[in-house]
């Protein structure tokens, strides 16, 4: 098996771990009566609703962009860059899963209309206020490094910018929901890393 084929297979396995964890968490919470997929739903300001709707489309479209990039990649990529990309992507998957598991029942995709979650500050949230978003970003950048093309690059940049806009909206929500407790946390822990 060639190096390219090994990286293709390993990347698809890594993506499968990521998305199985993501959907398993949603299913688990749905069984407990918790709706986790609230992107673009509810009574939110129109700008936030638009960002969330675009983000939902981007995050569900990104696996297709990645799979096409993996299978149709024609650009020669040095082995060291593929290894580095795999390490970055695997770190992203680990960050995402750690963030998701640490959030427990407070996990949501989107900003809730009311305070129905706890402010999570332990575990990986002592390192990053947004480890799940860091996980997405690292996974996307790592896969892009391994299987680059212009469409893939454009999709990664757009999605990361949408994640950043979402984070800013979530910060406003958390400040209004948790006040000084969140502000103190924000002063002590970085937004990303």
pLDDT given at position 98: 95
| Global pTM value | 0.90
- What burial class does residue 133 get, using C-beta atoms within 10 Å of its C-beta: 0-12 exposed, 13-18 middle, 19+ buried? buried
Which residues, in sequence order, are CB contacts of 141 under 8 Å at separation 6+?
A: 85, 88, 89, 92, 156, 160
Provide DSSP, 2-56: -HHHHHHHHHHHHHHHHHHHHHHHHHHHHHTT---B-TT-SS--HHHHHHHHHHH
User: In this model, does residue 16 exceed pLDDT 90?
Assistant: yes
For 21-60, the pLDDT digits (tens) are 988 888 887 777 767 665 666 666 777 778 878 888 898 8
């Amino acid at each position: 098996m060639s190096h390219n084929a090994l990286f293709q297979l390993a990347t698809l396995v890594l993506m499968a771990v990521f998305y199985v964890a993501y959907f398993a968490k949603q299913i688990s919470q749905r069984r407990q009566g918790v709706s986790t997929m609230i992107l673009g739903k509810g009574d939110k300001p129109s700008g936030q609703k638009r960002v969330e709707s675009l983000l939902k489309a981007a995050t569900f479209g990104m696996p297709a962009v990645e799979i096409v990039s993996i299978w149709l990649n024609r650009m020669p990529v040095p082995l060291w860059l593929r290894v580095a990309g795999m390490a970055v992507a695997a770190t992203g998957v680990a960050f995402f899963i750690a963030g998701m598991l640490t959030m427990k029942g407070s996990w949501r995709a989107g900003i809730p209309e009311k305070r129905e979650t706890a402010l999570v500050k332990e575990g990986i949230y002592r390192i990053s206020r947004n480890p799940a978003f860091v996980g997405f970003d690292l996974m996307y950048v790592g896969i892009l490094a391994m299987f680059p093309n212009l469409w893939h690059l454009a999709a990664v940049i757009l999605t990361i910018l949408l994640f950043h806009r979402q984070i800013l909206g979530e910060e406003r929500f958390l400040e209004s929901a948790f006040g000084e407790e969140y502000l103190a946390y924000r002063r002590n822990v970085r937004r990303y890393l």
